[in-house]
Structure 1
Amino acid sequence: MSLTEVFHGRRTSRTPELLVPAVLGGLILLYFALPFVAFLSRTGTANVVAGLSTPESQTAIRNSLLTAPISTAISTVLGVPLAYILARRSFPGKRLVEAVVILPLIVPPVVGGAMIITAVGRFTPIGAAATAAGIPLTDSLVGVILAQTFVAAPFVIITARAGFGAVDERLEQASRSLGYGPLSTFWNVSLPLARGAILAGVILTFARAIGEFGATMMVAYNPRTMPTRIWVDFITGGIDAIVPLALALLGITLAVLAAVQRFGRVPTVIER
């Protein structure tokens, strides 16, 4: 029997084995694609340019484009060092720290927003002091940033930790043996080698922040962001009224998808 016949026989024998998974997988893919197709089919009935040009939409876009990068920057600056510690050190209470990192991903965003209010609301000691200083932590852009950071920061922590975990520790040890300190080694060796995972985490964090609705609605329903503006427009005008802003968010999502694929696979769980 020739090699071609053997290969053809193996391929034929594997077809029935893959038929059921292919059908089941095709059904879920169809379910994923159908809402996109159905929604995009309505864009012809909406004046997208006019919808994005209204003062309300412009304000929502401006607020989202202002707060999401700030939330992403805060999450990155504070989260990447924590990710490195989780990847390189064992210490008492480490599992508790890991649980705290994952918790915002599991808690429903609305519940997360309620918890933020109980911690920094205007009637709490922290919130009252901030309000007295002229920096209210709720119903303000600061509140939006707090809500976005709470729900989005775990993405950069989890992906950065996986990236640091994939770096060979012997390279860091070699750097230390050459006289470089911990910070120099982290900055010149660990960080560059984990750069791909960190950038992917930063991108996902930004996408989660700019699309955050539940926690933001609880902590800072005003001023409006794009998601909260979409909700208001839907209540008052139905599906057609939200098409312009929804398309803008969808465009951002597609850009994020392209960026994530550019930087490779993104871990979704903390590896131990």
Structure 2
Amino acid sequence: MSLTKIVPSQKSNRLPELLVPALLGALLLVYFAIPFVAFLARSGPANVVAGLSSPEAQRAIHNSLITAPISTLIAAVFGIPLAYVLARTSFVGKRFVEALVILPLVVPPVVGGAMILTAVGRFTPIGSAVATLGISLTDSLIGVVLAQTFVAAPFVIITARAGFGAIDERLEQASRSLGYGPLSTFWNVSLPLARGAIVAGIILTFARAIGEFGATMMVAYNPRTMPTRIWVDFIAGGIDSIVPLALALLGITLAVLAAVQRFGRVPTVIDQ
């Protein structure tokens, strides 16, 4: 009997085994889908346009679209080299560095915001020194960027590290043997080969930054970003008042998801 006849038979024999896991997974998918459907049906296009046209919503959108790209850029510029070092070298204290990278992901954002305040708040040595220059690290767009970077940067570091780790080191060694230096090899060999993971990490970092609420609320409640504006509107007017901004934020999230699927993939633990 040929292999092509055996494989379909094996797959069909596994269908009963997969029935229960598939049903359990389907229930979870339904749970995911129902809130989306209910929320999307909450308001008509006219109400959404009117809500997004208000000055408060416009300022929140503007602030988010200014700060999130800056936070993403900072995370990429400093996080991608760190990811490469973690993927390619072993050194004393590496596990501590790895734990430090993951820490912002596991610490509740509100707690993360409180920790940022203890480091750069108005009455801290750093905050006071910067304030003498007329710069505020809290309750400002700078504070928003600090909060967003803290919670979002691990995404690009983790995904980029997995991308670099999947590269055959012999390709980099071949580049070095041809006379290219470490920086040239990194730029011309390592970065292009890890591009998919890096792009996915950058996109996810942007999505996390633009949707950040807890740390931002602690560090820079003013000026409002989209998430903090949504919270203020919800307290004042209930769920109907937040539909326009929430839909706008959801639209950005869906665009991010489409971008990840189009331009890069998110490495899994297996890839590492």
Q: TM-score by structure 1 length?
A: 0.95
Please state how far the C-alpha of 1:230 moved relative to its aligned partner.
0.2
User: Percent same amino acid at aligned positions?
Assistant: 82
Match of 1:94 in 2: 94
2:48/2:244 contact within 8 Å kept = yes
Distance 2:183 2:39 in 1: 50
Q: Which ranges in structure 1 are unaligned for 5 or more consecutive residues?
A: none
Distance 1:116 1:45 in 2: 39
Please state how far the C-alpha of 1:191 moved relative to its aligned partner.
0.8
Match of 1:175 in 2: 175
Match of 2:47 in 1: 47
Distance 1:15 1:248 in 2: 41
> Residues 147 and 269 (structure 1 numbering): CA distance in 2 closer, same or farther, change over 3 Å?
farther
SS at match of 1:180: coil
Match of 1:112 in 2: 112
> Residues 119 and 3 (structure 1 numbering): CA distance in 2 closer, same or farther, change over 3 Å?
closer
Alignment root-mean-square deviation, CA: 2.0
**CA deviation vs aligned residue, 1:146-182 (integer Å, no higher than 9, x gap):** 0000000000000000111111111111111111111
Q: TM-score by structure 2 length?
A: 0.95
2:148/2:209 contact within 8 Å kept = yes
Please state how far the C-alpha of 1:239 moved relative to its aligned partner.
0.8
| Corresponding letter in the other structure for 1:247 | L
Match of 1:77 in 2: 77
1:197/1:263 contact within 8 Å kept = no
> Residues 118 and 2 (structure 1 numbering): CA distance in 2 closer, same or farther, change over 3 Å?
closer
Stretches (4+) displaced over 2 A = 1-15, 267-272
2:199/2:264 contact within 8 Å kept = no
Match of 1:207 in 2: 207
Please state how far the C-alpha of 1:95 moved relative to its aligned partner.
0.3
> Residues 184 and 254 (structure 1 numbering): CA distance in 2 closer, same or farther, change over 3 Å?
same
Distance 1:187 1:21 in 2: 44
SS at match of 2:266: coil
Q: Which ranges in structure 2 are unaligned for 5 or more consecutive residues?
A: none
| Corresponding letter in the other structure for 1:156 | V
Q: Does 1:60 align with 2:60?
A: yes
Q: Does 1:19 align with 2:36?
A: no
> Residues 224 and 17 (structure 1 numbering): CA distance in 2 closer, same or farther, change over 3 Å?
same
Match of 1:263 in 2: 263
Distance 1:101 1:246 in 2: 30
SS at match of 1:43: coil
Distance 2:249 2:145 in 1: 18
Please state how far the C-alpha of 1:55 moved relative to its aligned partner.
0.5
Distance 1:175 1:28 in 2: 48
How many residue pairs match? The answer is: 272
Please state how far the C-alpha of 1:240 moved relative to its aligned partner.
0.8
Please state how far the C-alpha of 1:15 moved relative to its aligned partner.
2.4
Distance 2:72 2:186 in 1: 21
Please state how far the C-alpha of 1:263 moved relative to its aligned partner.
3.0
Q: Give the 5 Å matches for 1:187-198.
A: 187-198=187-198
Please state how far the C-alpha of 1:14 moved relative to its aligned partner.
2.2
Distance 2:2 2:194 in 1: 47
**CA deviation vs aligned residue, 1:93-114 (integer Å, no higher than 9, x gap):** 0000000000000000000000
